[in-house]
Chain A
Amino acid sequence: MKTLGLLINPIAGMGGSVGLKGTDGMYQEAVRRGAVRKANARTALALKALLPIRDDLLVLCPSGEMGEDLAREMGFQVKVVYSCGPDTTAEDTIAAARAMADADLLLFAGGDGTARDVFTAVGDQKVALGVPAGVKIHSPVYAIRPEAAGELALSYLKGACGQTREAEVVDIDEAAYREGRVNTSLYGYLQVPYERRFLQSSKAPSPLSERSQQVNIAWEMIDQMKPDLYYLVGPGSTTKTLMDVLELPDTLIGVDLICNKKLVQSDLCEQDILKRMDERETHLIITPTGGQGFLLGRGNQQLSAAVMRRIGRERLHVLATQEKLFHLHGAPLLVDTGDPEVDRMLTGYVRVIIGYMEEQICPIGAERQ
């Protein structure tokens, strides 16, 4: 019998329906404005696809609205693994996700905030999949629609889809977003079942899977590396693949330093970087993170204005899959180092490595106003 971890953030999406850009810290305001709970209804659309295997499936879930109520209502066999009170919190999500460690698949409903909580709980070790129910859905860990999440979960549990891939968990600073600024950060990666047509990136199917593209990009970058120079490697799944290909350990969302294809130092802070730059010529390898196309200033603040002033345009190497660039629809890659002069210095056109001996000319712009 297969086991499904089911985790619903019952207040996900409430902020959006009443004009709030997210529900993080705004639950009471959302209720005051008359928001109603919809996450259960959206999860039901996903669970509907699993009804055909209901008899062979055990649903592990938290109590009440976080999963139990809906699973029982739809006739699934249920085992409650975590008890929560009426007003659920992020801590409940984290604790509940940890309690489902044995599930074959963790299906969670919410938005980017929920994905962050799930990542905090299970890291990249468990296979998880998001049912889009929140206001902000920027993380490609979510299926394109609740029904698609259900179909993909069914395919994975039945063994028809045996592939998984690392998908980014990104989130936007809601407070800044409400003030009209988009601050995206990369928080980590979840292992998600992979069948291209169901996931957020399905708009750009390619005969080459994302992983293969990333490997090709890595080999091109390796070919371009010169001996005895320092290469800073920024965060992101594409740069992580470069480290994988070199068989070097990677700091998940930090900056690492390599030289002659060997690791020199892991997880450097700004001061570490500046100190290292005194030692020898230093290049920077980065990739845009999340769906906003930010190269600098989101999740890699250690690559500060002071660092970038010394890196300059000439020693900047940008890697990105065609899919990632596609989602920008020709909009510029963005930099926000906090120093307008440095941002201006970085703007213009850059050659982005998109494959082995393949580059695309992309504009770099300062943060959109």
Chain B
Amino acid sequence: MKKIDRSSKVRTGFHQAKWDEPVIFELTKPGERGILVTKANPEVQKAVEGTSVLPSFLQRETAPALPEISQPRVLRHYARLAQETLGADVNIEIGQGTCTVKYSPKVNDQLASLPQMREMHPLQDESTCQGIMQIMYDTNRYMCEISGMDRFSFQPSGGSQGILTMASLVYSYFKSKGQEKERNEIITTIYSHPSDAAAPHVKGFKIIYIHPDENGYPDYEAFKAAVNEHTAAFIVANPEDTGVYNKNVLKFTKLVHENGGLCGYDQANANGLLGVTRAREAGFDMCFFNLHKTFSTPHGCGGPACGATGCTKELEKFLPGPLVDFDGEKYFYNYEITNNPSAIGKVREFNGVAPVILKAYAWIRSLGPDGLYQVAKTAVLNNNYLFKKLMELHCVDAPYIPGKQRIEQCRYTLETLFKETGVSTADVQRRMMDFGMHYWQSHHPYYVPEPMTLEPTETPSKEDIDEYIETLKYVFDEAYNNPEKVKGAPYQSVCHQLDESNMDDPKQWAVTWRSYLKKFN
């Protein structure tokens, strides 16, 4: 018997399940059924007549064009798709910069799956759900302590909705002063998350962008030129996607306040800041946390998530209601806000996704204040270890603040690799999947050429980070010695090569099966 050689850091033996699985509509076979529901007995039909069916005006005239397919084939279809994923539990999760999902303790999932939680309904009487209401109330208090804000709402169901909620608070604040028409501009930076611009844009604000100065910090002189009597708010991420922390942010928020504006902090990812800095002391009036990024509540496929949004006392009356309060004896929904005509109103039903709040609560309680601070220290240490190792490589660089450390993430550039080999960051990204790993390039547009955004969080061990680095080096070596191999990737993973040109051209895509048929049949 031979000893198995595990000395290589690079897992060349990885192979992901891969099919060219059709869209479920393509599997349809006329007449094939999953379940044939028998008609109720005449007595039953008679007994429920007029009460059990939808009124005729709500009934469709034609049957929905759903796929006609049997249960086993449906099961097989989705089981196959489920295997064609590279989720957080499969790969070394380092590469989803700005949104890396940290390890989510399975025990917290179990808590959220308890029947007492799973079978609860948000319309239950308050007296029957005091437990989860206490958890909402206490999690609000923890968020306030962590951020310096005075009140949080858990209604926003993700980061972009959190930003939209902040923009709505800004609008309501100025509307209450009769200034909503004059105060119509939001300032942000080009390296903040694009949602910091997009969500206020949806709310009707004009967006003013600030470019970094030569050192990589938001250009204060440009900022001064941007702030005026139309400034409604400054909404910004700090650190930005480059991992550069604007240490002069207080100067920026002060200038906005002097000109009558508000300041909103995109703290979607606060991994590097827990217990280190707070939004309030940096001069912000609002902030939001993505519970799935910072507080370990996993989210997949767009939800369920939570963009917990907090604000100062002055803005509290505009928050979406109701909020959970405590009268000394019991927890209750406080509808006072919902009676305020200036409040922004609900941004989603009920009080957010209760199991997500529970998981965040459990995570915070398991760590305590010292543990949260340790999370920040470890996340920053991990990132700067990775940063130092990668910057030693000839083909990797990172723009801005040379020689200084980043916070919890960094946007690298593979421009040198591309110039010398023709291998792009998209090629490297796809090749990494052949080793069971991935990384994300950048938001659009690509201000950093050939970008690669990495964020290790506090989760990975040094062993994990070293394996990730070795795999990247392996692919870089391939790029120099056999570039076509990298360009042709992936070979052992499911990702396809796509031409992203003109993705805004409606002729190029179809988001529903019906529009696909219309365009291509």
Binding site for B on A (CB under 8 A): 145, 147-148, 161, 163, 194-197, 203-209, 212, 322-323, 325-326, 330, 348-349, 351, 354, 357-363
Contact = CB atoms under 8 A, between A and B. Distances in A.
25 contacts: A145-B422, A163-B501, A194-B502, A197-B424, A197-B500, A205-B444, A206-B445, A207-B444, A207-B500, A209-B502, A209-B504, A209-B505, A322-B445, A326-B447, A330-B212, A330-B219, A349-B226, A351-B208, A351-B226, A354-B209, A357-B205, A358-B197, A358-B209, A361-B219, A361-B222
Contact of B207 (A194, A203, A357): A357
Contacts of A322: 445
A209 B445 CA distance: 10
B225 A348 contact: yes
Given A196-B501, A209-B501, A362-B211, 9 more contacts: A197-B426, A197-B499, A197-B501, A206-B445, A330-B212, A349-B225, A357-B205, A359-B206, A361-B226
Contacts, number: 97
Contacts of B260: none
The binding surface of chain B is classed by DSSP as loop
Contacts of A363: 221-222
Nearest to A356: B201
Nearest to A325: B211
A323 B445 CA distance: 8
A206 B442 CA distance: 10
Interface in B302-327: none
Contacts of B500: 196-197, 205, 207
Interface residues of B, number: 35
Contacts of B501: 161, 163, 194-197, 209
Interface of B: 190, 197, 201, 205-214, 219, 221-223, 225-226, 422, 424, 426, 444-447, 449-450, 499-505
Contacts of A330: 211-214, 219
A145 B418 CA distance: 11
A207 B447 contact: no
Contacts of A358: 197, 201, 206-207, 209
Given A326-B447, A348-B225, A359-B206, A207 B211 contact: no
Contacts of B449: 203-204
A361 B445 contact: no
A351 B505 CA distance: 28
Nearest to B187: A361
A330 B503 CA distance: 27
The listed residue with most B CB atoms (<10 A of its CB), out of A147, A161, A206, is A206
A212 B447 CA distance: 18
A349 B221 contact: yes
Given A196-B500, A361-B209, A363-B222, A206 B190 contact: no
A87 B446 CA distance: 44
Enumerate the 8 nearest inter-chain pairs by beta-carbon distance, A residue then B residue, closest first. A349-B225, A206-B445, A361-B222, A360-B209, A203-B449, A196-B501, A357-B206, A204-B445
A115 B80 CA distance: 52
Nearest to B224: A349
Contacts of A205: 444-446, 500
Nearest to B211: A330
Contacts of B211: 325, 330, 360-362
Contacts of A206: 444-446
Contacts of B222: 349, 361-363
A206 B223 CA distance: 24
B201 A357 contact: yes
Contacts of B225: 348-349, 361
B201 A207 contact: no
Given A147-B422, A209-B504, A360 B208 contact: yes
A359 B447 contact: no
Contacts of B499: 161, 195, 197
A222 to B, nearest CB: 15
Contacts of B450: 203
A22 to B, nearest CB: 22
A356 B219 CA distance: 23
A301 B170 CA distance: 45
Given A209-B504, A209-B505, A349-B222, A203 B210 contact: no
Contacts of B504: 207-209, 212
A325 B449 CA distance: 14
A330 B504 CA distance: 27
A148 B421 CA distance: 12
B481 to A, nearest CB: 17
A361 B225 CA distance: 7
A208 B508 CA distance: 13
Given A145-B422, A208-B504, A359 B209 contact: yes
A195 B205 CA distance: 33
Contacts of B212: 330
B400 to A, nearest CB: 10
A344 B444 CA distance: 35
B301 to A, nearest CB: 20
A204 B446 contact: yes
Contacts of A209: 501-505
A208 B501 CA distance: 9
Contacts of B208: 351, 359-361
A326 B211 CA distance: 10
Nearest to B207: A358
Nearest to A348: B225
Nearest to A362: B211
A75 B429 CA distance: 36
